[in-house]
Amino acid sequence: MTGFIGQALLYIVPFLVLLTFIVTIHELGHFLVARAFKVKIDRFSIGFGKALLSRTDRHGVEWRVGWIPLGGYVKFSGDLDASSVPDQAGLDELKSRVIAEHGPAAVKDYFHFKPVWQRALIVAAGPLSNFALALVLLTLLFSVIGERIEAPRVFQVVPGSPAAAAGFQPRDLITAINGRPVQESNEVTQTILLSANDPLTFTVERGGRTLQLTATPVRVLEESDVAGRAWVSRAGLRLSPLPQDYQFRRLNPVEAVGKGADTMVSVVSATFRYIGRIFVGKESGDMLNGPLGIAKAAGGVTKQAIAYEAPPAILMLNLLLTYLQFAAIVSIGMGIVNLLPIPVLDGGHLMFYGYEAVARRPVPARVQEVGYRVGLALLAGLMLFATWNDLQKLSLFKFLGGLA
């Protein structure tokens, strides 16, 4: 029993706190922009299911906390279905009902009768809030910690690896990859992670000389507290800077915002590059995580952050800063996913509004119906695929022999 409680505190609780926080910010983005456009709102809920706490404000909005802490939602008045994009017949029926109950003047207060550009901004505000949250968290981190650059110095070359075959040696300093300059170890690691089976040309400084070494990363099975068991691209280089390879500087608020934005762009670029490699068959997609994978990563981050021998106050500060960085990355991922042009997601709504803006009428009911069915199937397939990856990484299929 004690072991279960410990695992819950380590994995489940951090995951639920993270998910609730990020989804609340997402929904708050929808809510605030809708409120700015004077949209009538019925409910703002943190969590699903029966309300544990509930209060209705002077605007008639019910604020509630549901007993299932797996996200949240905003309910606009007049929502006819989960799509929030009714067809013309649905709009006519809603308009008649609103006029009958509240009079003609009330129509303008409903989300579905706002100009299409306002509806698009309300929908886009959710994912954009996730990016804004990530930027705020990253800015805070860079303001508190500053910027530390670790030059990509080779510490060890794994025998029999692509790096060994290419001629790498300890103390080599990597200065460029495929002609693009690199300054940090993370740049080298990320490039290798997204280059399985692609030859890479490394520019290396060795004893005052500049060399060109070509290595082709390969996939290897690794296990970590954060990612679990997964196939990742490696070249066989273990990087560790020498004392002279460290650079550290404090960042003022403006510099911290710029560094945070650069980090966001890097994460988004790496994400789309990875997705693109999946579609062309260069990646298997096993690095895509579902809820179990995120929970595993949250627990791994927590475990790593508290693993150091330090006073409790220092440990708590390290845990907080580490968790803020993790939350920023997950928030970026949530923003990206919600902008995908799948009808059940915000990106799908934006796609429908784009059609409406051009055609001057909502998407026909039949097209919406087919779109949402296809969208649900795509989303369900993506979630099943990601969950399968999670189970593989967690080694839950060892009993099947060879699958993990």
What's the CATH code of the domain at 171? 2.30.42.10
Q: What is the pLDDT of residues 300-335, one digit of tens each?
A: 656 665 566 666 776 676 667 777 888 898 899 889
Locus of tokens 């509630």: 64
The percentage of residues in the chain with a pLDDT greater than 70, rounded to a whole number, is: 78
Q: From CA 385, how far away is CA 143, in angstroms rounded?
A: 38
Instruction: Tell me the pLDDT of the chain averaged across its residues.
Output: 81
Residue 232 placed within a domain: yes
Instruction: Quick: pLDDT tens for 87-141.
Output: 667 777 778 887 887 788 878 888 888 999 999 999 999 999 999 999 999 999 8
Determine the Cα–Cα distance for residues 365 and 371; give it in Å rounded to an integer.
Answer: 10
Q: Are residue 256 and residue 211 in the same domain, yes or no?
A: no
| Residues 257, 213 share a domain | no
358: in domain: yes
In a domain, 164, yes or no: yes
Same structural domain, 320 and 385: yes
Mean pLDDT across 139-153: 86
Q: Where does a domain end: 228, 249, 270?
A: 249
Q: Are residues 174 and 297 in the same domain?
A: no
Q: Is residue 52 part of a domain?
A: no
245 & 311 share domain: no
Q: What are the residue numbers of the active site? A: 27
Question: Rg of the chain over CA atoms, in angstroms?
Answer: 25
Its domain, for residue 206, covers: 149-249
Same domain, 360 and 270: yes
Query: What stretch of H or E contains 103?
Result: none
Tens digit of pLDDT for each residue in 260-306?
Answer: 999 899 888 888 887 787 777 777 666 666 555 565 565 565 666 55
Considering the domain boundaries, does residue 188 fall inside one?
yes
Report the SS3 class of residue 65. strand
Mean predicted confidence (pLDDT) in 213-237 = 79
Residues 348 and 259 reside in one and the same domain: yes
pLDDT value of position 4: 46
- The answer to whether position 357 is within a domain reads yes
- CA 73 – CA 256 distance, rounded (Å): 32
- Same-domain status, 318 and 362: yes
Give the pLDDT confidence of 155-189 residue by residue, as tens digits.
Answer: 999 999 999 999 999 999 999 999 999 988 888 98
- Tell me whether residue 72 is in a domain: no
Tell me: do 336 and 401 sit in the same domain.
yes
Asked if residue 9 belongs to a domain, the reply is no
